[in-house]
Structure 1
Amino acid sequence: MSARRIFTTPFASVYPLYVQKAERKGRTKADVDEVIRWLTGYDQAGLDRQISARTDFQTFFAEAPRLHPHAALIKGIVCGVRVEDVDDPLMQKIRYLDKLVDELAKGKAMEKILR
């Protein structure tokens, strides 16, 4: 999947995959929502609206109230790519989200995930 294609992919189509990944490892949908809200600044109603509206990733992040000021502290490798080295700002935000969900699924404590 090219970078362009993920930008236009509806967030709502990937969201269930995040939830499934977390639930397979004993985490909950509420945990996934918490890390998404932490990163993006959405409240639960705002997150639910974005999912129902099927907004794409580009719009999802463009309309996010604010990226968490500590997002730059998210480091590590997702899909063989070091998230802190991603040049495209939108792709980096997507990778931040992927990394948070990975950490959640790996059983990392919520206090450590939400830097």
Structure 2
Amino acid sequence: MASTLVLNDIAAPSRITKFAPAFQTNTKRFPNGRLARQCTRLSPVYNFEIEYDALTLGEYTALQQFFMDRRGMYESFVFRDTHTNQTYNVVFSDDQLARENASPNVRGLYQITIELESV
């Protein structure tokens, strides 16, 4: 069940680096050269890659807690595409949330890239 909490309300992403609708089509080529196609997904699944730059420790901790509360990729939640203002029910595409220091010279600022998939 999707949470009513929107990921963007925790911390606004710095940018959406990927928005990719994806269908799934099975194909089979026969010896005579004919190609048969079967659509196995009538509606696309949307894949997002979002980046957060220069998160404070408090913002990172809030995102980490949001991730932990969803148990990684287990529970769906809402994500708002800031370009179109459209909302999607999504899950994390991975069961781990890795952080990097935004700059070796700046202490306490973190950078995260998160991949999401619509459900």
TM-score tier by shorter-chain length is under 0.3
Q: TM-score w.r.t. structure 2 length?
A: 0.25
Structure number with the higher strand fraction is: 2
Q: TM-score w.r.t. structure 1 length?
A: 0.25
Structure number with the higher helix fraction is: 1
Structure with the greater alpha carbon radius of gyration: 2
